[in-house]
Amino acid sequence: MSQKSRQRKARRRGVPAVVTVLAIIALAAMAASPIIRSGWSEVSEDLPSLDKQEEYRASDNTLIFDSSPQPQLIAVLNTGESRIIIPPEQIPQQMKQALVVIEDDRFYKHSGVDPVGMLRAVVSNFTEGELVEGGSTITQQYIKNTYVSSETTVNRKLTEAIYAYQLEQRWSKDRILSEYLNTIYFGQGAYGLQVAAYTYFNKPATELTLAECALLAALPKSPTNYSPIVHPDKARHRRDVILAKMLKQGMITREEYDAATAAPLPQVIYHVGPEVQVAPYFIEYVKQQLIARYGVQATFEGGLRVYTSLDLNKQAAAEAAVGQVLNQPGDPSAALVSLEPETGYIRAMVGGRDFTQQKFNVAYQGHRQPGSAFKPFVLATAMNKGISPDTPFISEPKHFNMGGGDASWDVANFDELYLGRISLEKATVYSDNSVYAELIMKVGADSVAETAHKVGIKTSFSPRPAIALGGLDNGVSPLELASAYGTFATGGKHVTGSVDFEGDGPDPISIIAVTDSNGVLLDENKPVAAQVIDPVIAYHVNDVLRTVARKGTGRWSDLGRPCAGKSGTTEDHVDAWYSGYTPDLVTTVWIGYPEKRISMENVRGVRVTGGAWPAQIWHTYMDAALADVEPRNFYKPPNADLVPLSVCVTSGQRANLWCPEKETRTFFPNHLPTGYCTVHEAKEMVMPNLVKMKFGDVWKVLESMGFEVELTFAGDDTKPPDEIIDQSPKPGIMIKQGEDRIVVTVAGPPGSLELPEQE
Chunked mean pLDDT (size 10), the chain, 759 residues = 39 42 49 45 48 67 96 92 92 96 91 75 56 68 77 71 87 93 93 95 96 97 93 96 96 96 95 83 96 94 96 98 94 97 98 89 94 97 96 94 78 88 95 95 96 97 94 94 98 97 94 95 98 98 95 72 95 94 98 92 92 95 96 95 93 85 92 87 88 92 84 92 94 87 93 78
The H or E element that residue 245 is part of is helix 232-248
Strand, coil or helix: what is 150? coil
CA-to-CA distance for 117 and 74, rounded, in angstroms? 46
Three-state SS at 375 = helix
Interior/surface letters 682-696, b for 16+ CB within 10 angstroms, e for the rest: eeeeebeebeebebe
CA end-to-end span of the chain: 98
| Beta bridge partner(s), residue 665 | 645
Half-sphere exposure of 481 (CA within 13 A, CB side): 35
What pTM value is reported for the model? 0.80
Q: Please tell me the number of Cα atoms within 13 Å of 345 on its side-chain side.
A: 19
Q: Find out whether 648 and 677 touch, Cβ atoms under 8 Å.
A: yes
What distance in Å separates the CA atoms of residue 172 and residue 178, rounded to the nearest whole number?
10
Going by their DSSP bridges, the two strands 586-592 and 333-339 should be labelled as antiparallel
Q: Give dist(CA 649, CA 64) in Å, integer.
A: 62
Q: Which of 177, 184, 190 is nearest to 138 (CA)?
A: 177
pLDDT of residue 272: 84
Q: How many Å apart are CA 219 and CA 66, to the nearest integer?
A: 33
Q: Name the percent of the chain in helix, strand, coil, to the closest 5.
A: 40, 15, 45
Render 585-630 in DSSP notation, one character per residue: -EEEEEEE-TTS----S-BTTB---TTTHHHHHHHHHHHHHTTTS-
Tell me if residue 573 falls in helix, strand or coil: helix
Contacts of 678 (CB under 8 A, 6+ apart): 651, 653
Give dist(CA 498, CA 512) in Å, integer: 10
d(CA 672, CA 643) in angstroms, rounded, equals 8
At residue 571, what are phi and psi to the nearest 5 degrees? Answer: -55, 140
Question: Which CA distances in Å does 673 have to 385, 425, 646?
Answer: 13, 20, 10
From CA 99, how far away is CA 95, in angstroms rounded? 6
Provide the 3-class DSSP secondary structure of residue 569.
strand
Residues whose CB falls within 8 Å of the CB of residue 403, separated by 6 or more in sequence, listed in order: none
Alpha-helix runs per DSSP H in 263-374: 280-294, 296-301, 312-325, 362-365
Q: What is the 3-state secondary structure (H, E, C) of 45-62?
A: HHCCCHHHCCCCCCCECE
- 34: exposed, middle or buried (C-beta count within 10 Å: 0-12, 13-18, 19+)? exposed
Position 129 scores a pLDDT of 52
Which pLDDT score is estimated for 48?
Answer: 57
> How does DSSP classify residue 225?
T
Element (H, E) at 495: strand 493-497
What separation in angstroms does the CA of 467 have from each of 304, 371, 565, 606, 609? Answer: 42, 9, 18, 27, 19
The domains found in the chain, sorted by start residue, are 3-47+81-262 (1.10.3810.10), 369-476 (3.40.710.10), 641-681 (no CATH), 684-746 (3.30.10.20)
Nearest to 439 by CA among 494, 372, 370: 372
DSSP 380: H
Between the CA of residue 533 and those of 441, 486, 542, 632, what are the distances in Å? 21, 12, 12, 21
DSSP for 507-528 reads --BSEEEEE-TT--EEEE--EE
Note the pLDDT of residue 144: 84
Question: Could you tell me how many helices (H) and strands (E) the chain has, helices first?
Answer: 25, 25
Q: How many CB atoms lie within 10 A of CB 151?
A: 13
Amino acid at 85: I
Q: How far apart are CA 245 and CA 100, in angstroms?
A: 10
* Amino acid sitting at position 262: A
* DSSP strands (E only) in 386-450: 392-395, 398-401, 408-411, 420-423
* Euclidean distance between CA atoms 430 and 657, whole angstroms: 35
CA dihedral 478, 583, 286, 526 (to 10 degrees): 130
* The total number of residues written for the chain in this structure: 759
Name the CA radius of gyration of the chain, rounded.
41
Q: Are 236 and 265 in contact (CB under 8 A)?
A: yes
Phi-psi region of 456 (alpha: psi -120 to 50; beta: other; left: phi over 0): left
